[in-house]
Amino acid sequence: MTNHALGIPKQHKGKSCKKLRKGCFKSLEVKEEIKGASLVIAGIKYPTTDGKKNQRLKTDGNGKLSWISPPVTTELPISSIKFTGQYHGIAEILTLGDDEKPKYIKSNEKHSMTCKQLKENSAFFTLKSTTIPRWSFVGILFKEGPLIKGKSITTNDSNAIDELYNFKIGQNGIVSGFNSILRIPTTTEVSLIKQITYTRVPAPK
């Protein structure tokens, strides 16, 4: 690559960047080498072939780039994941106290999940709390683009709506964790918003 190809004025052609007069190029320095079938730019070695669809470049930290595929966890059909078992939840709750001022609460919860397949990319599920009386949900899992999400409602009279997202799926297809946002509307006696981080409890060995 020549200096002129970079758009450097002809009168500076062949001169190093350091010798260019002030105001021309203050910090531009490009070094390109072609070694056999390899392309090296500024010491970074690029792949010599195009990657597959949706692949991305990854560095090894030593100046070499290679193509990798996105994590398979977001590409799995719902029919291949296992979403039944016990889950531990860390709940962070924002509500109003008796003085009508914002009140923050953090609590530990345990939930039992069961899932029934509908189609390849949708399924019914139930979430039942084992620590909060009468606290249970019915909902559906679905694909939104490459992402797995869920929506559910309570089976009690609170009219709470729960949205599930950020599913973490292991190599064996088991959902190891997920997050949810729970909202109870202000039309009820208690109004709150709850963010829960769920982690699957391993089965007893």
Question: 65-105: per-residue pLDDT in tens?
Answer: 888 876 554 467 899 899 999 999 999 999 888 787 889 99
Does residue 205 lie in a domain region? no
Query: Same domain for 65 and 89?
Result: no
- Pair (123, 186) in one structural domain: yes
Q: How far apart are CA 54 and CA 135, in angstroms?
A: 41
Indicate the pLDDT class of residue 196, thresholds 50, 70 and 90. Answer: very high
Beta-bridged to residue 58, according to DSSP, are: 66
**Is 178 found in the same domain as 91?**
yes
Joined tokens for residue 128: 């039942």
For residue 175, the enclosing domain spans: 78-200
Summary mean pLDDT of the chain: 80
Per DSSP, the three-state class of 84 is coil
Tell me the helices (H) and strands (E) count for the chain, helix number first.
0, 13
Amino acid making up residue 27: S
**What pLDDT does 132 receive?**
84
pLDDT, tens digit (0-9, with 9 covering 90-100), for 90-144: 999 998 887 878 899 999 999 999 999 999 999 999 999 988 888 899 999 999 8
Kindly state whether residues 107 and 152 are assigned to the same domain: yes
Length of the chain: 205
CATH number at residue 131: 2.40.128.120
As for how many domains the chain has, the answer is: 2
Q: Is residue 179 in some structural domain?
A: yes
Same-domain status, 112 and 89: yes
- 53-65 average pLDDT score: 83
At 36, is the pLDDT very low, low, confident or very high (cuts 50, 70, 90)? Answer: low
**pTM of the complete model beyond 0.75:** no
Same domain, 170 and 99: yes
In a domain, 154, yes or no: yes
Regarding whether 187 and 111 lie in a shared domain, the answer is yes
Cβ atoms 30, 16 nearer than 8 A: no
pLDDT at 7 over 60: no
- The residue ranking higher by pLDDT, 154 or 27, is 154
